[in-house]
A and B are shown apart, each in its own frame.
Chain A
Amino acid sequence: MTTTHTYDAVVIGGGGAGLRAAIELSERCRTIVISKLYPTRSHTGAAQGGVCAALGNVEEDSSEWHAFDTVKGGDYLVDQPAALLMTEEAIDAIYQLERWGLPFNRTPDGRIDQRRFGGHTRNHGEAPVRRACYAADRTGHMILQTLYQQCVKRDVRFLNEFYSLDLLRNEDGRTAGIVAYELGTGELHVIRAKAVVFATGGYGRMFRVTSNAHALTGDGPAIVWRRGIPLEDMEMFQFHPTGLARLGVLLSEAARGEGGIVLNSEGERFMERYAPTIKDLAPRDMVSRAIYQEIKEGRGGGPNGDWAYLDISHLDPKVIEEKLPDITEFARIYLKVEPTKEPVPIQPTAHYAMGGIPTDTDGRVVTGPDEEVVPGLYAAGECACVSVHGANRLGTNSLLDLVVFGRRAGDDAARYVTQEPLAPVEKGAEAPALEHLNSILTRTTGDNAGDIRTELQDSMFDLAFVVRSQESLSKMREILGGLRERYDRVAITDKGAVYNTDLMETVELGFLLDCADALVAAALERTESRGAHYREDHPLRDDANWMKHTLAYREPDGSIRIGFKPVKMGPYIPMERKY
């Protein structure tokens, strides 16, 4: 049975970007948020270290310096006007969060305190600057809580534990709504809306070692991709250098911001050799590659020689207790290591998707090299690519991205719905989604989704991680072909309607396979190294040929075509990235 709902706007995802968009929308039009988790379970809550804005509360700063760092940190693949806009709007966005109650740590005179963070510098790279506003090492948790509280205050409507399955578009390309699945009952819902805002987060679960929640399976990007929207810069995936060894659980860059250092198995602070000026506070891609290099040269630790170490034992115990309590607890619980006394084993971990659904700075989804707007379709947060992160996101800019562009997407969508009529939806619009579910549910024997997922995660980690090559990526593409065939034969044991997480995890696996397809295809195409995308067969950045975004298209026959669009330049001339 299918239920049909009609709204002006539907937001998909209850994390930071979705909630921020919903706050903007809910006071101006009939809005519904669908979220596959209870919203406070969203992965925004796992962000730790801070959110940057050039408030200048503790030392001189400017949003223009912040923009420069963002562009340079992104290895010049950043659309510069978008970065300038984000860093300028950052200041009001942070003050607004504070006025909504966010409990930032304070300076002695009661203003928002700020601390150092990787890649954030004074006056175009002179020295680290205190720019990250923070709430202990729970900044993301506080942002998520604060935004949810504001939604409660505004009585925003939610449909919790609803999964989005399909995007409905008209023949003329206009957005008509979505198809969603209610986990509690197994029912399908057609949600008609003039505007659809995707805010579904990332897709780090395609890798074995990741800081990402189980829920981060690329639902939004995969759904729009299947409906003809290209995905931008999918090869750009950030590997955070300080994941807890084996598990990938994140140890915030704030640890280094507070003075923590990274060591190899010989106890050497090796970042002094790779980034002489800002050392351990170099951007994440550089630290991850440096760790890889140390491991390769035999200076890795642990049973398999593939660990580095994060050392905060020299810090004042009071600083650790007050500013880094959560990550200290992670090390104690999960590795049985005491960070106040000994270095913590770490390993690069799949952390953040810079690429995703292409949008303009109003969150409107745009396609093709000419950036044609898809009427009524929006995306914000990690699932979107504005692009403000380019080839490597700076720490803290993800939280900033979601408040700035979540607001802008919501604002533009609220304006759009007052001007446009509701697009018609044909009877049986849910049929493709229903068919997919039924094909999985009715198959009695077939491949096991768990096996396919494990092989995907293991092979992506082996072949498309910190270091890539033509050879490794070609092999990965071949493996993905095989996994796709197996996925088409997948069978599950739970055939029920009530809380069938077996079914939804299998649907999510399909989304992950799509995102992996796009990532590998774009990574194969980009024969240079830039930011997080490192090709050992093309180790240098190649501005002459590659100062452009990739656009991965899913063709009707299932093949993938890679197109391009130019990077929007601005005041910053690309130069070699040294720190």
Chain B
Amino acid sequence: MATAADVLNASGATAANDHTIELSVRVRRFNPEVSEESWWDEWTVRCDPLERLVEVLHQIKWHLDGTLSFRRSCAHGICGSDAMLIDGRNQLACKVLAQDVAPRVTIEPIRGLAVLKDLIVDMDPFMDDYRSILPYLINDSGEPDKERRQSPEDRHRYDDTTKCILCAACTTSCPEFWGDGDYVGPAAIVNAHRFIFDSRDQAARERMKILSENTGVFRCRTTFNCTDACPRGIQVTKAIQEVKRAILFERF
């Protein structure tokens, strides 16, 4: 009789062996304990064509160079830890497959935030920008016993911007953000949009005031980098435009 192992096992261990591909991974390295300058390393590994790039990085870290450092957690595009500049585009390493970048891929840290080590950047300024736009529901008109009512249409109005996972792929793809660290950046605006267009919220004016300052939405030059970079498919530039229009016409 087959054991549990025989029946349920199989796939992971054997499926890939025949059709693996070769992938060269070039990574911009930085370690303040080693050097003030960054440098490049390159490794070549064999992997399943459907292997996620983040797992290829693990393969390197666990078996070739333990010092290679990067953030990751869920490995399927939900936690937002592993935004990297992959072949010149901001992407989550867990949503890029080996076959899409083979035979050679170049990985760098996302731009505009200080690099702390290898692919790890300082996220605190990014989170500070997020916090600056009052990212929480504000409604002081007394709490009902049950839920606040909201029509499906009103709920749909801000659906797109609720998807944000704060990975920073959008903000660190924005030339305005690279050029001027004071700009709050697309992600903060997306999160402001999420509340400004929520029919239950009452603080849209306060957020719009914050975003109408010279660190806010009018810095946006509509280059659409943010929309291209968003791993959640959020129409980031559209959201920014909607906030701009709301500020100009006080329509929201």
List chain A positions with a Cβ less than 8 A from chain B: 37-38, 40-43, 45-46, 95, 98-101, 103-112, 135-136, 138, 141-142, 145, 149-150, 152-153, 184, 208-209, 213-215, 245-247, 249, 292, 295-296, 300, 302-307, 326, 330, 333-336, 347-348, 448-450, 453-454, 458, 461-463, 465-469, 472, 492-494, 496-502, 536
Q: In the bound complex, what is the Cα–Cα distance between A417 and B146 (angstroms)?
A: 32
Could you tell me which residues of chain B, from 45 to 100, have a CB within 8 Å of some CB in chain A? 50, 52, 61-63, 65-67, 69-81, 95, 97
Could you tell me which residues of chain B, from 94 to 121, have a CB within 8 Å of some CB in chain A? 95, 97, 116-118, 120
Contact of A497 among B33, B143, B159, B198 (CB under 8 A): B33
Quick check: A213 and B74 within 8 Å, CB to CB?
yes
Contact of A142 among B77, B137, B145, B162 (CB under 8 A): B162
B37 interface residue (CB < 8 Å to A): no
Could you tell me which residues of chain B, from 1 to 31, have a CB within 8 Å of some CB in chain A? 2-5, 7-15, 31
Q: In the bound complex, what is the Cα–Cα distance between A498 and B15 (angstroms)?
A: 38
Q: In the bound complex, what is the Cα–Cα distance between A502 and B69 (angstroms)?
A: 8
Nearest A residue to B66, CB-CB: A493
Quick check: B7 and A448 within 8 Å, CB to CB?
no
User: Nearest Cβ in chain A — how far from B248, in angstroms?
Assistant: 26
Report, as a range, how many residues of chain B touch the other chain: 35 or more
Quick check: B162 and A135 within 8 Å, CB to CB?
yes
Give the residues in chain B near A105, CB-CB below 8 Å.
152, 155
User: Nearest Cβ in chain A — how far from B2, in angstroms?
Assistant: 6
A99-B76 contact, Cβ under 8 Å, with A347-B8, A536-B4: no
| 22 CB < 8 A contacts A-B | A37-B73, A40-B166, A99-B143, A101-B137, A101-B195, A101-B198, A104-B147, A104-B155, A110-B151, A110-B152, A141-B165, A142-B162, A153-B136, A246-B50, A292-B7, A305-B10, A336-B50, A347-B11, A348-B8, A493-B66, A494-B66, A502-B66
Q: In the bound complex, what is the Cα–Cα distance between A413 and B73 (angstroms)?
A: 29
Quick check: B76 and A330 within 8 Å, CB to CB?
yes
Contact of B79 among A43, A466, A499 (CB under 8 A): A43
B179 interface residue (CB < 8 Å to A): no
User: Nearest Cβ in chain B — how far from A356, in angstroms?
Assistant: 20
A42-B79 contact, Cβ under 8 Å, with A135-B162, A458-B13: yes
A292-B79 contact, Cβ under 8 Å, with A111-B147, A448-B62: no
A304-B4 contact, Cβ under 8 Å, with A41-B81, A103-B158: no
Quick check: A466 and B11 within 8 Å, CB to CB?
no
Q: In the bound complex, what is the Cα–Cα distance between A330 and B52 (angstroms)?
A: 12
Contact of B145 among A95, A184, A246 (CB under 8 A): A95
Quick check: A465 and B12 within 8 Å, CB to CB?
no
Q: In the bound complex, what is the Cα–Cα distance between A372 and B146 (angstroms)?
A: 38
Give the residues in chain A near B143, CB-CB below 8 Å.
99
A246-B152 contact, Cβ under 8 Å, with A453-B62, A498-B31: no
User: Nearest Cβ in chain B — how far from A532, in angstroms?
Assistant: 13
B219 interface residue (CB < 8 Å to A): no
Give the residues in chain A near B147, CB-CB below 8 Å.
95, 98-99, 104, 111-112
User: Nearest Cβ in chain B — how far from A49, in angstroms?
Assistant: 14
A106-B150 contact, Cβ under 8 Å, with A43-B74, A306-B11, A458-B13: yes
Quick check: B4 and A467 within 8 Å, CB to CB?
yes
Quick check: B8 and A246 within 8 Å, CB to CB?
no
Contact of A214 among B9, B69, B75, B148 (CB under 8 A): B75
Quick check: A38 and B123 within 8 Å, CB to CB?
yes
Give the residues in chain B near A304, CB-CB below 8 Å.
10-11, 14-15
**How many A-B pairs fall under 8 Å by CB?**
212
List chain B positions with a Cβ less than 8 A from chain A: 2-5, 7-15, 31-34, 50, 52, 61-63, 65-67, 69-81, 95, 97, 116-118, 120, 123, 127, 131, 135-137, 143-152, 154-155, 158-159, 162-163, 165-166, 195, 198, 200-201
Max count, chain A CB within 10 A of own CB: residue among B12, B31, B63, B143: B12
Give the residues in chain B near A213, CB-CB below 8 Å.
73-75, 79
Quick check: B73 and A249 within 8 Å, CB to CB?
no
Give the residues in chain A near B65, CB-CB below 8 Å.
493
Give the residues in chain B near A103, CB-CB below 8 Å.
155, 158-159, 162, 198
Quick check: B131 and A152 within 8 Å, CB to CB?
yes
Nearest B residue to A499, CB-CB: B117
Max count, chain B CB within 10 A of own CB: residue among A300, A336, A498, A536: A498
Quick check: B32 and A40 within 8 Å, CB to CB?
no
Nearest B residue to A503, CB-CB: B66
User: Nearest Cβ in chain A — how far from B205, in angstroms?
Assistant: 17
Give the residues in chain A near B61, CB-CB below 8 Å.
450, 501-502
Quick check: B76 and A494 within 8 Å, CB to CB?
no
Give the residues in chain B near A326, CB-CB below 8 Å.
78
Quick check: B136 and A110 within 8 Å, CB to CB?
no
Quick check: A501 and B69 within 8 Å, CB to CB?
yes
Quick check: B162 and A150 within 8 Å, CB to CB?
no
Give the residues in chain B near A466, CB-CB below 8 Å.
4, 8
Q: In the bound complex, what is the Cα–Cα distance between A46 and B72 (angstroms)?
A: 14
A496-B31 contact, Cβ under 8 Å, with A138-B163, A472-B5: yes
Max count, chain A CB within 10 A of own CB: residue among B32, B63, B158, B162: B162
Q: In the bound complex, what is the Cα–Cα distance between A500 and B150 (angstroms)?
A: 47
Contact of B50 among A99, A150, A335 (CB under 8 A): A335
Nearest B residue to A500, CB-CB: B69
Give the residues in chain A near B9, CB-CB below 8 Å.
306, 461-462
